[in-house]
Structure 1
């Protein structure tokens, strides 16, 4: 549906003049700025879908690898010594545990929630305990699977596990098998994941990923897709084939959008 002239001022207000500022400076008119804003969001949404596939694949590959490496259930919350999580990851895992418990708690009937009081307050519920505190203490007695906790973890932790802090404790002993090509370097994997992570965060906050940042992000995505689980990296890995059409489509869309933007600069 085309934008009506009468709506331009209100749409500019809704999106904010600051957000449209650079596009307005480039195009010189509100309509074009708004249209480019929408095209940029659509491109970002398509890119985010591809990143989601990368994140899911990386997460599942790492978790399968670590499950085999540690050889015991509950390795996420209580990994066998001498290994231990760095404080950053420990905090993220605790937060993910609480999020998983929150999700399960929300599904419970009121009677079941009240039933948790016997576990949370064996000596009776304290007087003047707030509803928030009561719910929080109840949730600590909800059992959730590692899978549900893992689902609450973000890209941050998976890229961290391929970083220098875990080179000697995880990468060399086991995570290298997730990227089994003998010539691959951990730093190259980490650099690619960092690029994807930064763009993912921008997209999650509805910020544009264009021009060099777009090119670098797609290159990083291709690198991970070509190497994840592959002794012989290339465009024929299962993961790369899964997203190949999406990559081709988004590169074509980006080329058109970049050309349209460039036309205003010349």
Structure 2
């Protein structure tokens, strides 16, 4: 890649951002740019399954808590920790900024972050949420809560990296993909079947090896 083209890449991506890829490509800027594009394609491939996981988890937990507390706005009476209360308040604030005059419970549920829902499965919430209600949201899971929470934390991190356009190419992508489908299976085998119909993961994961890559496909 000539100097002019490299200047263009630095202008678009910033040198600091692109250097992560150049390092992975042993200093070859042309390979690094292909690696950057592959990272985008990987992010696209993971977005769909992660979308299903986030929405399915949110709705499963919300339904169980709605039943537990006997009202759609269960957060108004549930013993949320201070961090959870702040996230609910922030969701309401974001809705208000959209000039929604009378937000519904569904509006707030949709605005709450993936991190909020995952946090409900932490150890500190065992007594108030997991034991009386949330274990029922995973009809196909019989393991310990902490392993489930650990796996979801990993998916939260992957989701955030993708949404903030960060590198994921150097992670254990095959393990990430298996974890997503395993978690979806705990919630609903029917959702797993739906997601697999449109899953581009296997195709994209194997593409780099044929593009003159850096060997990262072997780690995926």
**TM-score, normalisation: structure 1:** 0.73
| In 2: Cα distance, 1:193 partner to 1:263 partner | 24
- Mapped contact 1:62–1:178 kept (Cα < 8 A): yes
* Deviant stretches of 4+, over 4 Å: 3-6
Q: In the superposition, relative to structure 1, how do residues 73 and 21 fare at CA in structure 2: closer, same or farther (>3 Å)?
A: closer
Matching residue of 1:244: 196
Instruction: Kindly indicate whether residue 20 of structure 2 is the aligned counterpart of residue 22 of structure 1.
Output: yes
Q: Deviations over 1:17-64 (max 9, x none)?
A: 221213323243322211211111121122122211110111111111
How far did 1:264 drift? 11
- Mapped contact 1:67–1:73 kept (Cα < 8 A): yes
Q: Deviations over 1:42-88 (max 9, x none)?
A: 21122122211110111111111111111124322x12xxx411000
- Mapped contact 1:51–1:221 kept (Cα < 8 A): yes
Matching residue of 2:85: 90
| In 1: Cα distance, 2:107 partner to 2:142 partner | 34
Matching residue of 1:38: 37
Gaps of 5+ in 2: none
Q: In the superposition, relative to structure 1, how do residues 264 and 252 fare at CA in structure 2: closer, same or farther (>3 Å)?
A: closer
The within-5 A match list for 1:76-155 is 76=75, 78-79=76-77, 83-105=78-100, 142-155=101-114
Q: In the superposition, relative to structure 1, how do residues 201 and 264 fare at CA in structure 2: closer, same or farther (>3 Å)?
A: closer
Q: Give RMSD over aligned pairs.
A: 2.4
Instruction: Kindly indicate whether residue 15 of structure 2 is the aligned counterpart of residue 12 of structure 1.
Output: no
Q: Report how many aligned residue pairs link the two structures.
A: 215
| In 2: Cα distance, 1:263 partner to 1:71 partner | 50
| In 2: Cα distance, 1:258 partner to 1:185 partner | 38
Gaps of 5+ in 1: 106-141, 230-236
Moved more, 184-193 or 214-223: 214-223
**Which structure exhibits the higher relative contact order, with contacts defined as CA atoms closer than 8 Å and separated by 6 or more residues?**
2
Q: In the superposition, relative to structure 1, how do residues 153 and 258 fare at CA in structure 2: closer, same or farther (>3 Å)?
A: farther
The within-5 A match list for 1:107-256 is 142-181=101-140, 183-229=142-188, 237-247=189-199, 249-256=200-207
How far did 1:151 drift? 1.1
- Mapped contact 1:44–1:209 kept (Cα < 8 A): yes
Q: Deviations over 1:127-166 (max 9, x none)?
A: xxxxxxxxxxxxxxx3210111111111001111111111
Secondary structure, aligned partner of 2:60? helix
How far did 1:181 drift? 3.5
| In 1: Cα distance, 2:8 partner to 2:170 partner | 29
Matching residue of 1:138: none
